[in-house]
Amino acid sequence: MASKKSDIRERFIAKIRPFKRVEPVPRLSSVYTTFNEVLLDLRYSGLMGKNYYWFFMDTHRLKQWRGKQRFVECLICGDENTVLFIPDEKVFQWYDGVEPNRKGHIFMRVVPQGDRLVMKIGYDRPDIDGQDYLNRFDLISPLIPRPLPRTTESVATAPGVFEQVRESIMQDPRLNGDSLHERVIDMIAQMGEWAGFEAKKSYAVERDSPYSIDVAWIDHEEMAMAVEVHDGGNETEAKDRLRQALRFGSRKVVVVSVPNAIARLRSICHFEADLKNWLEIWSVERVYKMFCGGHQFFEDFYPFRKRQRSDDIVEYL
């Protein structure tokens, strides 16, 4: 973990160096100086078990700097691409009257909620929307441009195209199931078997798990790929299932989604640092196209690779 935190910290600092000279402060762990502007107090947290990031700030440092040295608390949520920048005046405003613990620490939970991060101080203080502080490198120096607002791209789908795909899937005699969800699962299971895996539907990643994965491709009792099919319902549940699959060793995680859910899936996974680096989102249309092409290929390929004796020369013309 120490190595991972160090690597993330260095990548974060590397984003600043094109704009500002920045170096570590001697004898102050995780504090950097931008020379005559602000100090950067770097805090890191991975995603905790109950779906939040957990940070502490050292009030001994903060009191020493107050009124003498501007500083910014940099709360790194999972990786260097998701950082909350909290200026000193906001820290003192939000925590006014809050007593630190015996070590002099004050705390903050950062909770992903949909496509946003929410900062929770506790002590009956109101929650704070993190949107105005997310990736705000410009709060370090006016030389750094303010980031453009992150927008959720729409999925370009011609009117009626997906409904045609849905209809084709529901009428395809090669697929089993009474719903689109069941038939896409069957499609992915068949493709896994073509690729030489053991495909298991409704696969529990561990015996007592409350979650099961729609399809898992198993290679010698190990999960090579976990796939969730999302054609409606709760995107957060799909995300949680795949995150657990990743924790239990799946080498790849995939969501196969209908078009109108892709933007939402992308948004809620944006703050899941450990998940998003391994996650792929595929459209149902793209997977069905792959299935149709694969079915044709393997129908011809299986006889080609099969070794069998015949009383006469066999021809495939």
Read off the pLDDT band of 150 (50, 70, 90): low
pLDDT at 149 over 70: no
Q: Residue 197's CB: how many other CB atoms inside 10 A?
A: 18
What pLDDT is recorded for position 3? 56
If asked whether residues 129 and 36 sit together in one domain, one would say: yes
pLDDT at 250 over 60: yes
- Do the domain assignments include residue 312? no
- Do the domain assignments include residue 146? no
Does the pTM surpass 0.75? The reply is no
- Do the domain assignments include residue 314? no
If asked whether residues 63 and 183 sit together in one domain, one would say: no
If asked whether residues 35 and 118 sit together in one domain, one would say: yes
Full domain range(s) for residue 168? 161-305
Residues 210-216 have a mean pLDDT of 87
- Do the domain assignments include residue 181? yes
- Do the domain assignments include residue 147? no
If asked whether residues 168 and 265 sit together in one domain, one would say: yes
If asked whether residues 180 and 122 sit together in one domain, one would say: no
In three state form, how does the secondary structure of the chain look? Answer: CHHHHHHHHHHHHHHHCCCCCCEECCCCCCEEECCCCCEEEEEEECCCCCCCEEEEEEHHHHHHHCCCCCEEEEEEECCCCCEEEEEHHHHHHHCCCCCCCCCCEEEEEEEEECCEEEEECCCCCCCEEHHHCECCHHHCCCCCCCCCCCCCCCCCCCCCHHHHHHHHHHHCCCCCCCCHHHHHHHHHHHHHHHCCCEEEEEECCCCCCCCCEEEEEEECCEEEEEEEEECCCCHHHHHHHHHHHHHCCCCCEEEEECHHHHHHHHHHHCCCHHHHCCEEEEEHHHHHHHHHHHHHHHHHHHHHHCCCCCCCCCCCC
- Do the domain assignments include residue 72? yes
**34-53 pLDDT, tens per residue?**
987 899 999 999 888 768 99
Domain end marker among 139, 171, 194: 139
If asked whether residues 221 and 280 sit together in one domain, one would say: yes
If asked whether residues 38 and 92 sit together in one domain, one would say: yes
If asked whether residues 50 and 93 sit together in one domain, one would say: yes
CATH number of the domain bearing residue 78: 3.40.1350
Read off the pLDDT band of 140 (50, 70, 90): very high
If asked whether residues 217 and 122 sit together in one domain, one would say: no
If asked whether residues 134 and 167 sit together in one domain, one would say: no
- Do the domain assignments include residue 155? no
**163-195 pLDDT, tens per residue?**
888 888 999 999 999 999 999 999 999 999 999
What pLDDT is recorded for position 154? 41
Instruction: Quote the number of domains for the chain.
Output: 2
- Do the domain assignments include residue 144? no
If asked whether residues 134 and 188 sit together in one domain, one would say: no
If asked whether residues 112 and 178 sit together in one domain, one would say: no
What pLDDT is recorded for position 1? 47
